[in-house]
């Protein structure tokens, strides 16, 4: 991702955090992660993240999705060599609406949103959970999932066991989880 686009998206994410009354320190603002996931289409597929804490016991993040932005389908798989069973995570909506799709439960017959056009083959989780501000949902380890914001964008707090983002397994083989920013 080009530095100019990174800065543009960062500013939009920071404005959305502010609109949601999420107070961030200057250090948190400076360290905001802007991830286009290697697809170079961040307004359609990507995520912006502030990580508050990520220890051997727990993780806390504030995730920002711009309007209609999708975090693509992935799983936090076990890591046997780390004695890690996979990530259990709770999403709590703080602002906007977030549509979460998981591979547990019956497929939703008429989902409210669709995967990004042209990428439908990489979205297999079909059970819909809709979160409004103040609502939350907990995913057990090894839950394949993806999520998308509504027209206002969304802020979602994540509370979880340790996060190993670099080891997430995405359904779409084109995805590179760790952001690369070029000048």
Walk me through the domains of the chain, giving residue ranges and CATH numbers: 3-163 (2.60.120.10)
Q: Quick one: CA torsion of 142, 76, 104, 139, rounded to 10 degrees? A: 100
Q: In angstroms, rounded to a whole number, what is the distance separating the alpha carbons of residues 180 and 127? A: 32
Q: How far apart are CA 23 and CA 87, in angstroms?
A: 26
Structure tokens at 54: 């990520």
Q: Which residues of 113-141 are buried (b: 16+ CB within 10 A; e: fewer)?
A: bebbeebeebbebebbbbbeeeeebebeb
**Which of these ranges, 8-17, 60-69, 75-84, 155-164, has the smallest mean pLDDT?**
75-84
* Residue range 30-88, pLDDT digits in tens: 999 999 999 999 999 999 999 999 999 999 999 999 999 999 999 999 999 888 899 99
Percent of the chain with pLDDT over 70: 100
pTM of the model: 0.95
């Amino acid at each position: 991702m080009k530095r100019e686009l990174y800065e543009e998206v960062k500013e939009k994410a920071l404005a959305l955090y502010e609109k949601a009354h999420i107070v961030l320190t200057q250090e948190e603002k400076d360290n905001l992660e802007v991830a286009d996931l290697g697809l170079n289409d961040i307004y359609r597929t990507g995520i912006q993240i502030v990580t508050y804490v990520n220890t051997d016991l727990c993780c806390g993040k504030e995730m920002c999705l711009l309007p209609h932005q999708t975090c693509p389908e992935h799983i936090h798989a076990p890591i046997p060599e780390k004695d890690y069973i996979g990530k259990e995570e709770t999403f709590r909506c703080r602002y906007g609406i977030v549509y979460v799709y998981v591979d547990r439960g019956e497929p939703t017959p008429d989902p409210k949103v669709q995967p990004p056009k042209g990428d439908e083959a990489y979205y297999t989780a079909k059970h819909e959970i809709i979160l409004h501000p103040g609502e939350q949902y907990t995913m057990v380890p090894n839950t394949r999932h993806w999520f998308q914001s509504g027209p206002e964008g969304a802020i979602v707090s994540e509370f979880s066991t340790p996060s190993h983002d670099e080891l997430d397994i995405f359904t779409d083989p084109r995805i590179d989880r760790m952001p690369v920013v070029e000048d």
